[in-house]
Chain A
């Protein structure tokens, strides 16, 4: 969307319109279309101060059309997100009644490409739970929240080099590996500690049986290949 800023008498008014468009786009919500409509009416209902030349009228009209188009294509994107979320949800909906066990919500959210921390996950769950938690999450509550998460591109996954650097930080003597005990200590005592099950699971894949240590560079490389 191109915004031409030209110094003119009406600049002040134009700028406020542009501000409004930007606000509208950031919100990305069709529910603001009413605001949209009102402003449009305001323009075609000329009053003394706001009579505009034909040139400016067509510019404003074009801008509105562009907005509409952006909203429309956004709606398409949102529709695709909806279908993606529905697919991921249905796979875990064992009773086919549009609910999933709350313990599987984390898996669903992560399978959609997001990487919330445990704390962030708790907050999300609080948002989608019923007022009185039943242990189940309903699709109707999950969908809008998850759509926002995807639209806002929240909880982006960790890039590979950040992960590598994290391991290198823990490997203070720069040996290229961590011992089993070291990894266990860090993972179960620091940050958001692992459960025993999580720890065992990680060790089963990460530990090199011959040296009984974790060669983190190889481990990361292996995991990345597996995912692609």
Chain B
């Protein structure tokens, strides 16, 4: 009897425990799945916005083409302007002495000192120095750049590489200034050397904070092992992209005295980077991929150094109406698609038949801490390629998932809200069109439709709505609620809000255009140049801003009334205030 009751109590107890365990497991799995879904949503936001930005670049590119087409008219009005825009050529090597010798390395400098001709000890030296957060002196930077240009000039558009059973080759994708990722790759895979070949497939710079360091390590390694370290040009090896995505800023910040010189030489070095690498005559490694119209034979023949920028049509003022160049503009301008490297086997046919396309991307945590891993590929002869993945973390153990997801999510929602803000007028108009009764509310379907159409972003709006708007108890959306806790800080109080919004929305494009006009990197352009440029911009982008408003704006921008505008300072002032968050001044550098 005693046994009977005690065993039945035990059974009841274990049954209860079983049920309890089931409850907890069920709940946890649901919770964990929802976290992963939120992570995916955040990633989708990042990717959509990045993709939309690239489409925006197309508009800028069209603007420059438009300028080129109206070249003659502009030329008549302002020949200097045109020369500055399109005639950015650098004189030859006799300037080298000028540039380098005028830059002295003081004795007090305790950063790395390179010795020319470079050897592998210089590579080690740089790696160690950069690990200690040191900065390479401008003198060495310039030396390296000149030397790199000299060597690159002798190379064809496509580097030919052979592998052998004893010699594998490692292919890395975009690094985007993430030095930690490069160190991790070298740690896992070894430094470049005669027996350890590498291909770096473009996009070494921009976005990350150590683009200069990466560039220096790569260039120095290239100079030491020119046959074993191969560099392909990516769409970010481009002075215009650097203006928008941060490398120019990094250089001017780290090299306050000589930054401008470095920028000028760099512009040229970029144009001499090879377009791609061909391995064993079978595999093409190229940044940005290929399309149906890619013609390798044509690409072999073009003069690659005439491509100053992926945004600008290739031109030099001395040649007029060079039709060949115009044709190659679409074929050879590698369409910017972030993070895509391509390798594919081809046969020796006049028309290449591509079998397989692989993408490799080497910057982990690209969007935000915890967003993604990076990878590299190891290839050898006819063996299958091997893939290696990694992720950089600051701590020795990962934070719990919910914290990582929260970080990613709030970052993504933030940039999405800013996007919404830059299109506030258009959005409100779209909402009001649907809101016939002027109630300030829309159904979920109506709101999602308006958002998707106006912003042009294919996102899961229904799932994201709790983060963006408030809903009433009937499930209807208060569409103005997004704009209540976020606004653009006005640099000039009296300026109209539509003007402010337009300036905010196009601030990156404007910054690029102004920086292009300001070829001596003084940070200033004249009032007439500003007006002329703005009028062209206005007409091409179909913006409805009255001329007098622009004139007023120009007056205000000329803060010290000396006839010139410090546009960088002015554009910096356009930042978004998130009322519910603490404002860091560093956030103002969203440009």
Residues of A within 8 A of B (CB): 79-80, 83-84, 87-88, 90-92, 106-111, 114-115, 117-118, 157-158, 162-163, 165-167, 169-170, 186-187, 190-194, 198, 201-202, 204-205, 223, 226-227
Contact = CB atoms under 8 A, between A and B. Distances in A.
Contacts of B25: 117-118, 187, 191-194
A191 B22 contact: yes
Contacts of A90: 458, 460
A198 B36 CA distance: 13
B20 interface: yes
B487 interface: no
15 contacts: A91-B37, A91-B44, A107-B33, A107-B37, A110-B33, A111-B37, A115-B26, A115-B29, A117-B22, A158-B27, A158-B30, A187-B21, A187-B25, A190-B17, A202-B28
Interface stretch (B126-134, B185-193, B395-403, B497-505): B395-403
From B26, B40, B458, B460, name the one whose CB has the most chain A CB atoms within 10 angstroms: B26
B289 to A, nearest CB: 16
Contacts of B402: 205, 223, 226
B51 interface: no
Contact of B36 (A107, A109, A158): A107
A121 to B, nearest CB: 9
Nearest to A183: B24
B488 interface: no
Contacts of A91: 37, 40-41, 44, 460, 463
A104 B403 CA distance: 22
Contacts of A194: 25, 28
Contacts of B398: 204
Interface in B26-68: 26-34, 36-37, 40-41, 44
Contact of A162 (B23, B29, B448, B461): B23
B46 to A, nearest CB: 13
B44 A166 contact: no
Interface string B187-217: 0000000000000000000000000000000
A195 B402 CA distance: 18
A100 B296 CA distance: 35
A158 B23 CA distance: 7
Given A80-B444, A87-B461, A170 B21 contact: yes
B20 A111 contact: no
A191 B401 contact: no
A87 B20 contact: no
Contacts, number: 122
Instruction: For the complex of A and B, list the 8 residue pairs with the smallest distance between their C-beta atoms, beginning with the closest.
Output: A111-B37, A110-B33, A191-B21, A87-B460, A205-B400, A190-B21, A166-B20, A166-B23
A192 B23 CA distance: 10
Contacts of A167: 20, 24
B90 interface: no
B26 A83 contact: no
A186 B34 CA distance: 23
Contacts of B256: none
Interface of B: 16-34, 36-37, 40-41, 44, 398-403, 406, 444-445, 448, 458, 460-463
Contact of A169 (B20, B444, B462): B20
A118 B18 contact: no
A186 B401 contact: no
Contacts of A169: 16-17, 19-20
Given A88-B463, A110-B37, A201-B32, A192 B17 contact: no
A210 B444 CA distance: 46
B440 to A, nearest CB: 21
A200 B119 CA distance: 47
A138 B402 CA distance: 30
Contacts of A108: 37
A76 B463 CA distance: 18
B120 to A, nearest CB: 41
B406 A226 contact: yes
A178 B445 CA distance: 45
Contact of A111 (B18, B33, B406): B33
A90 B44 CA distance: 10
Given A114-B30, A166-B21, A169-B20, 12 more contacts: A88-B460, A88-B463, A91-B40, A110-B37, A111-B33, A117-B22, A163-B27, A186-B21, A191-B18, A191-B25, A193-B25, A205-B403
Contacts of B462: 83-84, 87
A113 to B, nearest CB: 9
A198 B320 CA distance: 66
A225 to B, nearest CB: 10
A201 B16 CA distance: 25
Nearest to B24: A166
A45 B162 CA distance: 87
B17 A186 contact: yes
B18 A110 contact: no
A117 B26 contact: yes
A64 B31 CA distance: 43
B485 to A, nearest CB: 18
B43 to A, nearest CB: 9
Contact of B28 (A83, A198, A226): A198
From A79, A92, A187, A202, name the one whose CB has the most chain B CB atoms within 10 angstroms: A202
A170 B463 contact: no
A207 B540 CA distance: 59
Contacts of A83: 445, 448, 462
A110 B34 contact: yes
A61 B591 CA distance: 66
Given A88-B460, A110-B30, A111-B37, A204 B24 contact: no
Nearest to A222: B402
B476 to A, nearest CB: 13
B27 A111 contact: no
Nearest to A226: B402
B32 A111 contact: no
Contacts of B41: 91
Given A80-B445, A92-B40, A227 B34 contact: yes
A115 B32 contact: no
A187 B406 CA distance: 25
A119 to B, nearest CB: 10
A79 B37 CA distance: 22
A166 B21 CA distance: 7
Contact of A198 (B19, B29, B399, B461): B29
A226 B406 CA distance: 8
Contacts of B30: 110, 114-115, 157-158
Nearest to B44: A91
A227 B30 CA distance: 11
From A157, A198, A226, name the one whose CB has the most chain B CB atoms within 10 angstroms: A226
